Amino acid sequence: MDDAIGSPSLDLGAHLPRLTARGVILSLLVSNHPARPTPAQIVRAAGVFGIKESAARVALSRMVSGGDLTRTPDGFHLSAPLLERRQRVLHEVEQGTRPWNGEWEIVVVTGTGRDPGDRAALRERLSRLRLAELREGVWLRPANLTRALDLAAEPVEVLTGSPVRDAGELLGSLWDLPVWERESRRLLELMDLAESAVDRFTVATAIVRHLLTDPVLPQELRPNSWTADRVHAAWGAYQEEFVSIPEVGHTN
């Protein structure tokens, strides 16, 4: 990363993946939807995040040819499937919760003989629902989320129940909470250190990926030291910061 662009004394290249032109452009277009920014506006905004003009224009061309973007006389807009996926990801970051009554959601995979692709797709879907696998084919979590499971078309049996086993021990079998907490603290520290637009965007992108793996525990089951709320707050604050950047706001 260019030292002239990054924050002084902070080498994020040693901590996080580098930004890509495609990732920056997607974030710009999602944040400004339904506006249709022109190529010049996108290139100018991407430049704020260290993306060179040539790289931005190549990425735009590839995204159009790949069907990710559609170019119209008044500018670019995301394809409907890609926009839906990106907005779904942002929605999944902030999971709605409800008071926990001690029950757990239990999903047992009953189908057999499915091809690897179908099995992988089901595993991904269950993970996105914030369920965790206790053993092969058995997924569960505390029943404190407001989202619906919507698994009627899947080869699964959905149950609710209360385990006899200590809830804290069970959580340890489902998620590695100390590892998740360490990563939370690392990202919060990096965001505190990040000063430039490039570095803050880089850390914020990593925060989104991290929050998509948040087990979203009820208060009763959270470890004594648990920074999930602080990480969510950091992401919320950055969203406001991102759209307030003049070059970003002026793409709409």
pLDDT at 62 over 50: yes
Same domain, 188 and 79: yes
- To the question of pTM greater than 0.75 for the whole model, the response is yes
Helix axes 53-65 and 21-32, enclosed angle (nearest 10)? 70
pLDDT grade for 71, boundaries at 50, 70 and 90: confident
Same domain, 86 and 44: yes
Q: Is residue 170 part of a domain?
A: no
Same domain, 90 and 198: yes
Q: Is residue 169 part of a domain?
A: no
Number of structural domains in the chain: 2
pLDDT grade for 244, boundaries at 50, 70 and 90: confident
Sign of the torsion angle spanned by Cα atoms 197, 248, 59, 68: positive
Same domain, 135 and 91: no
Torsion from C-alpha of 90, 91, 94, 99, nearest 10 degrees: -170
Same domain, 72 and 24: yes
Higher pLDDT: 98 or 72? It is 98
Q: Is residue 139 part of a domain?
A: yes
pLDDT at 247 over 80: no
- Rounded mean pLDDT, 36-41: 87
Q: Which residues span the domain enclosing 30?
A: 1-96+176-252
Same domain, 30 and 86: yes
Same domain, 150 and 248: no
Question: Residues 181-223: pLDDT tens digits?
Answer: 999 999 999 999 998 888 888 899 899 999 999 999 999 999 9
Same domain, 10 and 128: no
Give me the pLDDT at residue 252, please: 54
Q: Is residue 205 part of a domain?
A: yes
Give me the pLDDT at residue 249, please: 59
pLDDT at 57 over 90: yes
**CA pair distance 110, 126, nearest whole angstrom:** 14
pLDDT grade for 84, boundaries at 50, 70 and 90: confident
Q: Is residue 166 part of a domain?
A: no
Give me the pLDDT at residue 31, please: 75
pLDDT at 2 over 70: no
Q: Is residue 171 part of a domain?
A: no
Domain end call among 113, 138, 161: 161
Q: Is residue 167 part of a domain?
A: no
Exposed/middle/buried for 89, CB within 10 Å: 0-12, 13-18, 19+? Answer: middle
Same domain, 82 and 140: no
Question: Residues 7-22: pLDDT tens digits?
Answer: 444 566 666 777 889 9
Tokens of 106: 């239990």
Give me the pLDDT at residue 11, please: 61
Same domain, 190 and 245: yes
Mapped to the 3 state alphabet, what secondary structure does the chain carry?
Answer: CCCCCCCCCCCHHHCCCCCCHHHHHHHHHHHHCCCCCCHHHHHHHHHHCCCCHHHHHHHHHHHHHCCCEEEECCEEEECHHHHHHHHHHHHHHCCCECCCCCCEEEEEECCCCCCHHHHHHHHHHHHHCCCEEEECCEEEEECCECCCCCCCCCCEEEEEECCCCCHHHHHHHHCCHHHHHHHHHHHHHHHHHCCCHHHHHHHHHHHHHHHCCCCCCCHHHCCCCCCHHHHHHHHHHHHHHHHHCHHHHCCC
Same domain, 48 and 20: yes
CATH code: domain of residue 80: 1.10.10.10
